[in-house]
Structure 1
Amino acid sequence: MRDLPGATTPSSGRYGGWTALLVERCLFTGQGWSEAEDALRAAEATAGNDDERGAAACERGQLAYAATVLGVRDRADEARSALGRAAALLSAGSRTRPLLDFRRGLVAEHLADAPQAARPAYHRAHAGAEAHGDTLLLSFTWRHLAALALRDGEVAEARRGFTESLRIREELGFLVGTAPALAALAEAEPEPEASRLRAEARRLFHLLGGIPTWLADQLQPVPS
């Protein structure tokens, strides 16, 4: 599984930013589900316009997606429904729209196993993130487009995308996302560079107390 954004573009409204952070915590630690649900209900109840309602629906879709891919509970239908509702509510120029496009790509790739449908969603998210100056979201779109390129055997293109993602995260000081970026780049590099990158990812992962928790399996030493 690849890393996913939680609060890269926080929802608007009184509870929006806090809700996004709680959803992000669930994703990276696998804990705090009830708190995130409570915050989501509050955000939904207090949303005052379509943009706020759409942003709250986007967060609900992400929480349902995270619960599904982490194996907590199958909420795939809820994820699709919530993101579809967000798409109907958010205007084309909404700052939340690129994040929504990205999350719809995640659902297509990881829940529907349809990478061919995920690619255009990631490209829309990438273009939107550039237009809105959302640099952190760009680190995610670079990474996931690179993963699709690697899947198709386009190693040079994959290496470029993974390198850009890592560069952005290091420049922003996004430590919790840096270890996954290092591990991803290792997949596109030959030895001994691949082993060096994995070792650095493993060091940072342990420094952060084993977060994100889902990265543990990817950082197991490669058998000789």
Structure 2
Amino acid sequence: MDERIERARVLYERAVFDGDATALETADRELDAAEADLALARGRIVHGRFLDQRREDPGELALFERAARLYRALGDVRGEGESLFWIGIFHQVVRQDNGTAVPVLERSHELAAQTGDKLTMSYALRHLGFAEHVAGRLGPARERLEESARLRRELGFLPGVAANLIGLAYITDAEGRRDEALRVLDEAAELAEASGAHGILRAVKEAAQEIGRETLLEFGTDPA
């Protein structure tokens, strides 16, 4: 960020002192890219605060939408896809509105696939799986979570794999296969412990307790 701001200063001087008017256009684009990155990063922090306090900040959505607009104008498909994911997360997790979230998450996945952004693809698929589960469509929910987990294994993102296995355990239990669901949770616990993902490990233990009591936790509570 600091480098791009300093470069904007240099480009300004090039325009003013050297008469290179195109330098200003370059500076605008670079500052727009910096602003998009900052808006996306700040939006994630605001969302993290929501997960901790469970209190909506109206500025969260505005930050993600600003990032998406800037990335779109810049032709940055990868950045736009990631921003759209977070817009979808806001609607699904903060507003509990899957009807609004799903089309945005689908578009995020589409753009991420175009650029080979497997991490964003995995996140979008995870939350599309949550939406399917909430709607009672266990088959499509399983397909999306399994594909998300596959992508995460390819990336070596083991805490993310463990998080998806929790979701798959709930689906497996809903299908009437409790013993298998608990075995899935065993794998999730191993992965979470091996990667030091203590928050995910706590979620595994909670899931094991909930499945044992035949009570499902609410899905879509975080974007892991």
TM-score by length of 1: 0.73
- CA distance in structure 1 between the aligned counterparts of 2:200 and 2:188, rounded to whole angstroms: 13
- CA distance in structure 2 between the aligned counterparts of 1:135 and 1:61, rounded to whole angstroms: 21
Change (3 A) 1:215 1:115: farther
Runs of 5+ consecutive residues of structure 2 not aligned to the other structure: 5-28, 214-224
Tell me whether 1:84 sits opposite 2:68 in the alignment. no
Q: What CA deviation, in whole Å up to 9, does each residue of 1:155-208 have, x standing for no partner? A: 110111111111111122111211101111112223322111111112222233
Change (3 A) 1:184 1:80: same
| Aligned length, in residue pairs | 180
- CA distance in structure 1 between the aligned counterparts of 2:171 and 2:55, rounded to whole angstroms: 32
Answer yes or no: is the 8 Å Cα contact 2:129–2:144 preserved in 1: yes
2:157 to 170, 174, 199: 174
Answer yes or no: is the 8 Å Cα contact 1:54–1:90 preserved in 2: yes
Answer yes or no: is the 8 Å Cα contact 2:159–2:200 preserved in 1: no
2:41 to 59, 63, 67: 59
| Structure 1 residue matching 2:58: 3-state secondary structure | helix
User: Which entry has the higher C-alpha Rg, 1 or 2?
Assistant: 2
Change (3 A) 1:187 1:86: same
- CA distance in structure 2 between the aligned counterparts of 1:145 and 1:89, rounded to whole angstroms: 25
- CA distance in structure 2 between the aligned counterparts of 1:179 and 1:15, rounded to whole angstroms: 37
| Structure 2 residue matching 1:113: 3-state secondary structure | coil
Answer yes or no: is the 8 Å Cα contact 2:65–2:83 preserved in 1: no
User: For residue 10 of structure 1, what is the aligned residue in structure 2?
Assistant: none
Answer yes or no: is the 8 Å Cα contact 1:91–1:97 preserved in 2: yes
Q: Which sits farther off after the overlay, 211-220 or 109-118?
A: 211-220
The one-letter code of the counterpart of 1:81 is A
More helix by share: 2
TM-score by length of 2: 0.73
Q: Which sits farther off after the overlay, 124-133 or 170-179?
A: 170-179
User: For residue 106 of structure 1, what is the aligned residue in structure 2?
Assistant: 89
Q: What CA deviation, in whole Å up to 9, does each residue of 1:135-155 have, x standing for no partner? A: 111111111111100110111
Tell me whether 1:213 sits opposite 2:194 in the alignment. no
1:187 to 170, 173, 179: 170
Runs of 5+ consecutive residues of structure 1 not aligned to the other structure: 1-12, 17-46
Change (3 A) 1:123 1:176: same
Identity of aligned residues (%): 28
User: For residue 140 of structure 2, what is the aligned residue in structure 1?
Assistant: 157
User: What is the CA distance between 1:219 and its match in structure 2?
Assistant: 2.8
Q: What CA deviation, in whole Å up to 9, does each residue of 1:45-102 have, x standing for no partner? A: xx9421221121011111101111122x846222122113223322253120000000
The one-letter code of the counterpart of 1:196 is R
- CA distance in structure 2 between the aligned counterparts of 1:123 and 1:61, rounded to whole angstroms: 20
